Chains A and B, each alone.
Chain A
Amino acid sequence: GAGVSQSPSNKVTEKGKDVELRCDPISGHTALYWYRQSLGQGLEFLIYFQGNSAPDKSGLPSDRFSAERTGGSVSTLTIQRTQQEDSAVYLCASSLGLGRGWNTGELFFGEGSRLTVL
Protein backbone atom coordinates (compact mmCIF):
# COMPACT_ATOMS: atom_id res chain seq x y z
CA GLY A 1 0.00 0.00 0.00
CA ALA A 2 0.91 3.64 -0.15
CA GLY A 3 1.49 4.02 3.57
CA VAL A 4 1.90 2.05 6.78
CA SER A 5 -1.37 0.38 7.66
CA GLN A 6 -2.32 -0.67 11.19
CA SER A 7 -5.29 -2.62 12.49
CA PRO A 8 -7.43 -2.45 14.45
CA SER A 9 -7.55 1.30 14.81
CA ASN A 10 -9.30 0.90 18.15
CA LYS A 11 -9.43 -2.06 20.51
CA VAL A 12 -11.23 -2.27 23.84
CA THR A 13 -10.53 -5.37 25.87
CA GLU A 14 -10.95 -6.69 29.38
CA LYS A 15 -8.08 -7.07 31.78
CA GLY A 16 -6.46 -10.48 31.38
CA LYS A 17 -7.37 -10.99 27.73
CA ASP A 18 -4.82 -11.34 24.94
CA VAL A 19 -4.70 -8.86 22.05
CA GLU A 20 -3.02 -8.83 18.66
CA LEU A 21 -2.13 -5.68 16.78
CA ARG A 22 -1.17 -5.79 13.12
CA CYS A 23 1.14 -3.63 11.03
CA ASP A 24 1.54 -3.69 7.26
CA PRO A 25 4.59 -1.59 6.32
CA ILE A 26 5.32 0.32 3.15
CA SER A 27 6.22 -2.06 0.34
CA GLY A 28 9.98 -2.43 0.07
CA HIS A 29 10.71 -1.19 3.59
CA THR A 30 12.80 -3.84 5.29
CA ALA A 31 13.00 -2.12 8.68
CA LEU A 32 9.96 -2.10 10.96
CA TYR A 33 9.51 -0.58 14.41
CA TRP A 34 6.90 -0.66 17.15
CA TYR A 35 6.47 2.26 19.52
CA ARG A 36 4.04 2.89 22.34
CA GLN A 37 2.56 6.33 22.96
CA SER A 38 1.10 7.01 26.37
CA LEU A 39 -0.36 10.30 27.52
CA GLY A 40 2.42 12.51 28.78
CA GLN A 41 5.07 9.88 28.13
CA GLY A 42 6.03 10.57 24.54
CA LEU A 43 7.02 7.70 22.31
CA GLU A 44 8.47 4.58 23.89
CA PHE A 45 10.48 2.27 21.63
CA LEU A 46 9.41 -1.36 21.87
CA ILE A 47 11.08 -3.46 19.17
CA TYR A 48 12.89 -3.21 15.83
CA PHE A 49 12.85 -5.69 12.96
CA GLN A 50 15.27 -5.91 10.08
CA GLY A 51 13.66 -8.34 7.70
CA ASN A 52 12.15 -11.10 9.82
CA SER A 53 14.65 -10.90 12.62
CA ALA A 54 14.48 -8.65 15.65
CA PRO A 55 17.98 -7.49 16.57
CA ASP A 56 16.64 -5.08 19.17
CA LYS A 57 13.88 -6.11 21.56
CA SER A 58 15.16 -3.96 24.38
CA GLY A 59 12.02 -1.87 24.69
CA LEU A 60 9.51 -4.65 25.29
CA PRO A 61 8.23 -3.87 28.81
CA SER A 62 7.63 -7.43 29.98
CA ASP A 63 7.44 -11.02 28.82
CA ARG A 64 3.73 -10.50 28.20
CA PHE A 65 4.75 -8.58 25.08
CA SER A 66 5.98 -10.32 21.94
CA ALA A 67 6.18 -9.53 18.26
CA GLU A 68 6.88 -11.35 15.06
CA ARG A 69 7.30 -10.50 11.42
CA THR A 70 6.77 -12.85 8.56
CA GLY A 71 7.77 -12.67 4.90
CA GLY A 72 9.70 -9.51 5.61
CA SER A 73 6.41 -7.66 5.62
CA VAL A 74 3.50 -7.85 8.05
CA SER A 75 4.22 -7.70 11.76
CA THR A 76 2.04 -8.65 14.71
CA LEU A 77 2.47 -7.31 18.23
CA THR A 78 0.87 -9.58 20.83
CA ILE A 79 0.09 -8.59 24.39
CA GLN A 80 -0.87 -11.45 26.67
CA ARG A 81 -2.91 -11.11 29.86
CA THR A 82 -3.45 -7.41 29.29
CA GLN A 83 -3.26 -5.00 32.20
CA GLN A 84 -4.73 -1.53 32.53
CA GLU A 85 -1.27 0.02 32.27
CA ASP A 86 -1.04 -1.44 28.74
CA SER A 87 -3.63 1.10 27.59
CA ALA A 88 -1.92 3.31 25.01
CA VAL A 89 -1.62 3.98 21.31
CA TYR A 90 0.66 1.48 19.63
CA LEU A 91 2.43 2.97 16.62
CA CYS A 92 4.17 1.06 13.88
CA ALA A 93 6.76 2.62 11.59
CA SER A 94 8.82 1.40 8.68
CA SER A 95 11.89 2.61 6.85
CA LEU A 96 14.27 1.68 4.09
CA GLY A 97 16.74 -0.99 5.02
CA LEU A 98 20.45 -0.91 5.59
CA GLY A 99 22.47 1.02 3.06
CA ARG A 100 19.42 2.68 1.55
CA GLY A 101 18.85 5.67 3.78
CA TRP A 102 18.20 3.63 6.90
CA ASN A 103 21.15 5.19 8.58
CA THR A 104 19.50 8.61 8.43
CA GLY A 105 16.65 7.19 10.43
CA GLU A 106 13.64 8.67 8.66
CA LEU A 107 10.62 6.69 9.77
CA PHE A 108 7.18 6.47 8.20
CA PHE A 109 4.43 5.96 10.75
CA GLY A 110 1.01 4.36 10.64
CA GLU A 111 -1.94 5.97 12.36
CA GLY A 112 -1.73 3.68 15.34
CA SER A 113 -3.87 1.21 17.23
CA ARG A 114 -5.52 2.63 20.33
CA LEU A 115 -5.75 -0.03 23.02
CA THR A 116 -8.01 0.42 26.02
CA VAL A 117 -7.89 -2.19 28.78
CA LEU A 118 -10.87 -2.07 31.11
Chain B
Amino acid sequence: AQSVAQPEDQVNVAEGNPLTVKCTYSVSGNPYLFWYVQYPNRGLQFLLKYITGDNLVKGSYGFEAEFNKSQTSFHLKKPSALVSDSALYFCAVRDPLGGYSTLTFGKGTMLLVSP
Protein backbone atom coordinates (compact mmCIF):
# COMPACT_ATOMS: atom_id res chain seq x y z
CA ALA B 1 0.00 0.00 0.00
CA GLN B 2 1.02 3.59 -0.41
CA SER B 3 -0.02 6.17 2.13
CA VAL B 4 0.93 9.57 3.41
CA ALA B 5 0.31 11.30 6.71
CA GLN B 6 0.22 14.98 7.52
CA PRO B 7 0.11 15.06 11.32
CA GLU B 8 -0.89 18.71 11.67
CA ASP B 9 -4.29 19.99 10.61
CA GLN B 10 -3.05 23.56 10.95
CA VAL B 11 0.28 25.37 11.25
CA ASN B 12 0.48 28.96 12.47
CA VAL B 13 3.55 31.10 11.86
CA ALA B 14 4.34 34.80 11.93
CA GLU B 15 5.40 36.53 8.74
CA GLY B 16 9.18 36.49 8.33
CA ASN B 17 9.64 33.38 10.44
CA PRO B 18 10.66 30.00 9.01
CA LEU B 19 7.90 27.50 8.39
CA THR B 20 7.74 23.71 8.29
CA VAL B 21 4.82 21.58 7.20
CA LYS B 22 5.31 17.93 8.06
CA CYS B 23 4.73 14.86 5.91
CA THR B 24 5.55 11.20 6.40
CA TYR B 25 4.94 8.43 3.92
CA SER B 26 4.70 4.68 3.59
CA VAL B 27 5.52 2.73 0.45
CA SER B 28 7.04 -0.63 -0.22
CA GLY B 29 9.70 0.70 -2.59
CA ASN B 30 11.36 4.00 -3.37
CA PRO B 31 8.81 6.81 -3.37
CA TYR B 32 7.99 9.65 -5.68
CA LEU B 33 6.99 12.53 -3.38
CA PHE B 34 5.12 15.74 -4.11
CA TRP B 35 3.81 18.90 -2.50
CA TYR B 36 0.79 20.77 -3.82
CA VAL B 37 -0.82 24.00 -2.61
CA GLN B 38 -4.48 24.96 -2.78
CA TYR B 39 -5.61 28.56 -2.45
CA PRO B 40 -9.27 29.25 -1.50
CA ASN B 41 -11.77 28.13 -4.14
CA ARG B 42 -8.99 27.06 -6.46
CA GLY B 43 -7.59 23.77 -7.69
CA LEU B 44 -4.32 22.31 -6.53
CA GLN B 45 -1.06 23.74 -7.82
CA PHE B 46 2.16 21.77 -8.03
CA LEU B 47 4.97 23.09 -5.79
CA LEU B 48 7.78 20.58 -5.99
CA LYS B 49 8.66 16.91 -6.28
CA TYR B 50 11.31 14.41 -5.30
CA ILE B 51 12.00 11.58 -7.72
CA THR B 52 15.66 10.75 -7.22
CA GLY B 53 19.00 12.44 -6.56
CA ASP B 54 19.62 15.30 -4.15
CA ASN B 55 17.55 14.95 -1.00
CA LEU B 56 16.87 18.69 -0.86
CA VAL B 57 14.55 19.82 -3.62
CA LYS B 58 13.60 23.40 -4.40
CA GLY B 59 10.30 24.45 -5.83
CA SER B 60 8.03 27.35 -6.57
CA TYR B 61 7.59 30.48 -4.42
CA GLY B 62 10.78 29.83 -2.41
CA PHE B 63 9.61 26.53 -0.95
CA GLU B 64 11.88 23.54 -0.49
CA ALA B 65 11.52 20.05 0.91
CA GLU B 66 13.93 17.50 2.28
CA PHE B 67 13.61 13.80 1.58
CA ASN B 68 14.69 11.70 4.55
CA LYS B 69 14.57 8.01 3.76
CA SER B 70 15.44 6.78 7.25
CA GLN B 71 12.61 8.81 8.77
CA THR B 72 10.28 8.31 5.76
CA SER B 73 9.63 12.03 5.77
CA PHE B 74 9.33 14.80 3.22
CA HIS B 75 8.77 18.01 5.18
CA LEU B 76 8.02 21.25 3.36
CA LYS B 77 10.03 24.29 4.42
CA LYS B 78 10.48 27.96 3.70
CA PRO B 79 13.07 30.21 5.37
CA SER B 80 10.82 33.26 5.63
CA ALA B 81 7.04 33.00 5.51
CA LEU B 82 4.78 35.48 3.72
CA VAL B 83 1.14 36.24 4.49
CA SER B 84 0.40 35.22 0.91
CA ASP B 85 1.69 31.69 1.70
CA SER B 86 -1.48 31.10 3.73
CA ALA B 87 -3.20 28.18 2.01
CA LEU B 88 -3.91 24.45 2.24
CA TYR B 89 -0.90 22.25 1.57
CA PHE B 90 -1.06 18.64 0.43
CA CYS B 91 1.69 16.06 0.46
CA ALA B 92 1.38 13.17 -1.99
CA VAL B 93 3.20 9.94 -2.70
CA ARG B 94 3.44 7.39 -5.43
CA ASP B 95 5.23 4.08 -5.40
CA PRO B 96 6.28 3.66 -9.05
CA LEU B 97 6.60 -0.10 -8.64
CA GLY B 98 3.47 -0.52 -6.56
CA GLY B 99 1.02 -0.80 -9.41
CA TYR B 100 -0.88 2.31 -8.38
CA SER B 101 -2.29 4.48 -11.11
CA THR B 102 -1.88 7.80 -9.42
CA LEU B 103 -0.91 9.74 -6.36
CA THR B 104 -2.16 9.20 -2.84
CA PHE B 105 -2.69 12.48 -1.01
CA GLY B 106 -2.59 13.38 2.65
CA LYS B 107 -5.50 15.13 4.32
CA GLY B 108 -3.84 18.51 4.00
CA THR B 109 -2.38 21.06 6.40
CA MET B 110 -3.74 24.57 6.61
CA LEU B 111 -0.93 27.10 6.86
CA LEU B 112 -1.83 30.45 8.40
CA VAL B 113 0.77 33.19 8.26
CA SER B 114 -0.01 36.18 10.45
CA PRO B 115 1.23 39.70 9.68
Chain A interfacial positions (CB closer than 8 Å to B) = 4, 33, 35, 40-43, 45, 48, 55-56, 91, 93, 103-112
Compute how far the CA of A50 lies from the CA of B96 in the bound complex, rounded to whole angstroms. Answer: 16
B window 76-110: CB within 8 A of A: 90, 92, 94, 96, 101-108
Taking a contact as CB atoms under 8 Å apart, the answer to whether B102 and A107 are in contact is yes
Number of residues on chain B facing chain A (CB within 8 A): 23
Interface residues of chain B, those whose CB is within 8 Å of chain A, are 32, 34, 36, 41-46, 49, 51, 90, 92, 94, 96, 101-108
Within the complex, which residue of A41, A55, A111 is in contact with B101, where a contact is CB–CB below 8 Å?
A55
Number of A-B contacts (CB under 8 A): 55
Contact of B43 among A4, A40, A42, A103 (CB under 8 A): A4
Q: What are 17 residue pairs bridging A and B, where the CB atoms are less than 8 Å apart in the complex? A: A42-B90, A42-B108, A43-B105, A43-B108, A45-B102, A91-B43, A91-B44, A93-B44, A104-B51, A105-B94, A105-B102, A106-B34, A107-B103, A109-B43, A109-B45, A111-B42, A111-B43
Are A105 and B43 in contact, CB atoms less than 8 angstroms apart? no
Q: Which 5 A-B pairs have the closest CB atoms?
A: A42-B107, A109-B43, A56-B101, A43-B105, A48-B101
Question: Which residue, B102, B105, B106, has most C-beta atoms of chain A within 10 A?
Answer: B102
A105 partner residues in chain B, CB cutoff 8 A: 32, 34, 49, 92, 94, 102-103
Cα-based distance from A33 to B92 in the complex (angstroms): 15
